[in-house]
Structure 1
Amino acid sequence: MSQTNSATHPTGKEQKQRKALYQLLGKLPDRNRPIAVKVISREETDEIIIEKLLLDLNGLELVPAYFTKPKTATDKIPVVLFNHSHFGQYQVGKNEFVKGRKEMQSPPYAVALARAGYAGLCIDSWGFGERSGRPEIDIFKEMLWKGQAMWGMMVYDHLRALDYLHTRPDIDTKRIATMGMSMGSTMAWWLAALDERIKVTVDLNCLTDFQTLLAEKGLDRHGIYYYVPDLLNHFTTSDINALIVPRPHFGLAGSQDPLTPLKGLEIIDANLKKAYAAKGAPEAWQLKIYNVGHLETPEMRQDIMAFLKKWL
């Protein structure tokens, strides 16, 4: 595991920014409410252990999850909090993690991570997987009426999933990464910005500059869940991602992906290069653009696993 040269102790300004960002997420449940967990099933293969869990994270709706780890693991091991994607496929949810999907490479990340010596956790977000009984738009509208932002409620659940990982005796809590594709990519950089317990961040195909998306009239490219009231009056995409500095962060994007306009990627890259250099950790930020659309290629998978191996 590599380390950055710069200390990661937050400044008062950074702490205030994190608090302000969190407050934009609407009326959220108590951040410190007790978490309960029920193990629904436990499956073993030749190389992986898969636990299906039911987590009480928010006090409103139980959250199904998969926790995985290498079958050979004995000591505390590093873990990746994996955030599933959207693709308008509401039934998939956390199954993406253990079963994969056509837009991503094989094997599924649960297996790939286990083979590399990592544990993994993936929850069903609001409206997905076993929580997909109601349409996304209905959830969004009801939450809006209640002063909640759907994205805020999603982020809250994932932060509580991070809290849950800290209760497990088999996890090395000093070696936690987060990653995801598409909606899961956005979740990864939001989580890392808000919580310094995440040491490594990988975002695949959704590092979108908000202002560029507006300028290109591309608001319909992202789902309704994505939009947070009042956000642009306080933060740019670069501002949020700067809260991850100097922790290692790898962004991957497709040059033909309409969800991440190239002009916006250039803006974010320039800003984060300056921010990481200022903290003495220029090597900890990497943006790589591939000649593809909104999908994961074999090269992307190889680069992601190499980044995790280097930094986690």
Structure 2
Amino acid sequence: MRRSLLSVDRQPVRWTRAGSAAGESRAKSRRPQHRPLERLHRMPHMVQEYFVEQAHRFERSRLERLAKLSTKADAEAYVQGVRKKIREAFGPFPERTPLNPRVTRVVERDQYRIENLVFESRPGFFVTANLYVPQGRPFPAPGVVGTCGHSRNGKAAEPYQSFAQALARLGYVVLIYDPIGQGERLQYPDENLKSRVGVGVREHLYAGNQQLLVGEFFGSWRAWDGIRALDYLLTRDEVDPKRIGVTGNSGGGTMTTWLCGVEQRWSMAAPSCFVTSFVRNLENELPADIEQCPPKALALGLDHEDFLAALAPKPVILLAKEKDYFDVRGTEAAYQRLKRLYRLLGAEDHIALFVGPTYHGYSKENREAMYRWFNRATGASQAETEPPLVIEKDETLWCAPRGQVCQLRSRSVFSFTR
């Protein structure tokens, strides 16, 4: 119990000459046990409690500002304000350079085709992606950018190729891409094309921690990949630029949320299993990946919901889970505040919340809630449920030789950082 960690043995110790066996024995018997650890642990949660208190202070200030909003003009000014703050947190993005896209394989299926392709989000920095194009549908069709969570195999993970395939079967053109350090984009591959440091979070931390030393934010790099994915999607004649959505789960929910804040071309969004609040995450001592902590976000008065507010009044649905480690209480509170903001903007029916009954993940229930929401916004389909799916093998979705961009001599994050 914590009380035992705070107790300190204050009995004096009488040290004797080292040559006295009896004295040495008595000294050992009186010597306090684990005293170094006790001294370190007298205030075991001091740093944690300090940061929680600071987060609460920033949150109180932000909630006070929100409470003062009473008119449509107030709400519009708030939206403009958070957009400006988000740009400050994420910093300037690089210059747009040629995408140089190339399709490396086409996979034909019954109701759609998959184009395996590579594009450059930065010069020589390759992004691997699958473009799902529906067959026998009128064009231009609505488009969706799919962002992935921390899956080892990135875009090929079952829940992620599931939503991409299902949307294609419902009439959407979907571009889903591998995150840095996942799928075909390992930054630290060994001779067997396996990660030297561990896929996903560890690859992100290795690259992101190095970037901190030179004033870069890994989350901005991740977001820029998403922006360039949208740039590519909008080059396709099959896509209606006025009907463009973004969705993802977990780490992909993070990216969906951040992308709502930094990019205004979206017409709808569905982040899953991420949106709660910084305070809830700190109180719960929830580990976070480096891209989930935007610089100065708290000091700027930003929270998760503000990145979605930046897209207001466009249609947004928050997807959560009852048993997720991203605290659903924070999700519900964020939804209520967003609902009030949307009400002031005259678009209360453009914000929604769906809470699935199970644990963390882009489960079928949450995917179906996303389909219904996007269908409502676009009119692409009347379907209420997920169509039958055929899950592809990872190799079928590979865009690069042997499934790694290093085989294409892609530059690494480190090559830019150093």
Q: Which interval holds the TM-score relative to the shorter structure? A: 0.7 to 0.9
Q: Answer whether contact 2:321 2:356 (CA < 8 A) is retained.
A: yes
Give the % identical residues. Answer: 28
TM-score (norm 1): 0.86
Structure 2 CA distance for aligned equivalents of residues 109 and 263 of structure 1: 26
**Offset, 1:191:** 1.2
Q: Which amino acid aligns with 2:130?
A: Y
When you count strand as a share of all residues, which structure comes out higher? 1
Structure 2 CA distance for aligned equivalents of residues 266 and 113 of structure 1: 27
Q: Which amino acid aligns with 2:337?
A: N
Q: Which amino acid aligns with 2:155?
A: K
Correspondence for 2:297:
231
1:33 is aligned to 2:87: no
1:250 is aligned to 2:317: yes
Q: Answer whether contact 2:134 2:168 (CA < 8 A) is retained.
A: yes
Deviates more, 1:285-294 or 1:20-29: 20-29
1:159 is aligned to 2:227: yes
Correspondence for 2:62:
none
Structure 1 CA distance for aligned equivalents of residues 81 and 339 of structure 2: 22
Alpha-carbon spacing, 1:28–1:48, altered in 2? closer, same or farther (3 Å) = same
1:53 is aligned to 2:117: yes
Q: Answer whether contact 2:143 2:240 (CA < 8 A) is retained.
A: yes
1:120 is paired with a residue of what secondary structure? strand
Correspondence for 2:349:
283
1:62-116 Cα distance to aligned partner (Å, 9 max, x none) = 1111111112235211111110111xx43x11213xxx24xx7xx7122201111
Q: Which amino acid aligns with 1:35?
A: L
1:21 is aligned to 2:86: yes
**Offset, 1:182:** 0.8
**Offset, 1:297:** 3.6
Correspondence for 1:118:
172
Alpha-carbon spacing, 1:298–1:157, altered in 2? closer, same or farther (3 Å) = closer
Correspondence for 2:107:
43
Correspondence for 1:4:
none
Structure 1 CA distance for aligned equivalents of residues 97 and 135 of structure 2: 32
**Offset, 1:139:** 0.9
Structure 1 CA distance for aligned equivalents of residues 82 and 294 of structure 2: 16
**Offset, 1:55:** 0.4
Q: Which amino acid aligns with 1:173?
A: P
Q: Answer whether contact 1:25 1:148 (CA < 8 A) is retained.
A: no
Equivalent residues in 2 for 1:147-186, closer than 5 Å: 147-186=215-254
Deviates more, 1:182-191 or 1:298-307: 298-307
**Offset, 1:28:** 3.8
**Which runs of 5 or more residues in structure 2 are unaligned?**
1-71, 189-202, 379-418
TM-score (norm 2): 0.65
When you count helix as a share of all residues, which structure comes out higher? 2
Structure 2 CA distance for aligned equivalents of residues 269 and 283 of structure 1: 12
Deviates more, 1:192-201 or 1:10-19: 10-19
**Offset, 1:201:** 0.6
Structure 1 CA distance for aligned equivalents of residues 330 and 91 of structure 2: 26
2:125 is paired with a residue of what secondary structure? coil
1:230-282 Cα distance to aligned partner (Å, 9 max, x none) = 12111122222211211111111111111x21331232012101111011111
Q: How many residues align structurally?
A: 290
1:213 is aligned to 2:281: yes
Structure 2 CA distance for aligned equivalents of residues 74 and 129 of structure 1: 32
Correspondence for 2:24:
none
RMSD: 2.1
Structure 1 CA distance for aligned equivalents of residues 78 and 321 of structure 2: 33
**Which runs of 5 or more residues in structure 1 are unaligned?**
1-6
Structure 2 CA distance for aligned equivalents of residues 18 and 227 of structure 1: 17
Q: Answer whether contact 1:26 1:147 (CA < 8 A) is retained.
A: no
Alpha-carbon spacing, 1:119–1:293, altered in 2? closer, same or farther (3 Å) = same
Q: Answer whether contact 1:36 1:57 (CA < 8 A) is retained.
A: no
Equivalent residues in 2 for 1:137-152, closer than 5 Å: 137-152=205-220
Deviates more, 1:230-239 or 1:179-188: 230-239
Alpha-carbon spacing, 1:27–1:146, altered in 2? closer, same or farther (3 Å) = farther
Q: Answer whether contact 1:180 1:203 (CA < 8 A) is retained.
A: yes
1:1-46 Cα distance to aligned partner (Å, 9 max, x none) = xxxxxx9xx957644532431332246422x333221111112111
Alpha-carbon spacing, 1:144–1:172, altered in 2? closer, same or farther (3 Å) = same
Give the structure with higher Rg (CA). Answer: 2
Q: Which amino acid aligns with 2:256?
A: A
Structure 1 CA distance for aligned equivalents of residues 163 and 364 of structure 2: 13
**Offset, 1:205:** 1.1
Structure 2 CA distance for aligned equivalents of residues 184 and 202 of structure 1: 10
Alpha-carbon spacing, 1:299–1:125, altered in 2? closer, same or farther (3 Å) = closer
1:208-236 Cα distance to aligned partner (Å, 9 max, x none) = 21122112322x1x323322221211112
Correspondence for 1:264:
330
Equivalent residues in 2 for 1:80-159, closer than 5 Å: 80-86=144-150, 89-90=151-152, 92-96=153-157, 100-101=158-159, 108-134=162-188, 135-159=203-227
Alpha-carbon spacing, 1:133–1:207, altered in 2? closer, same or farther (3 Å) = same
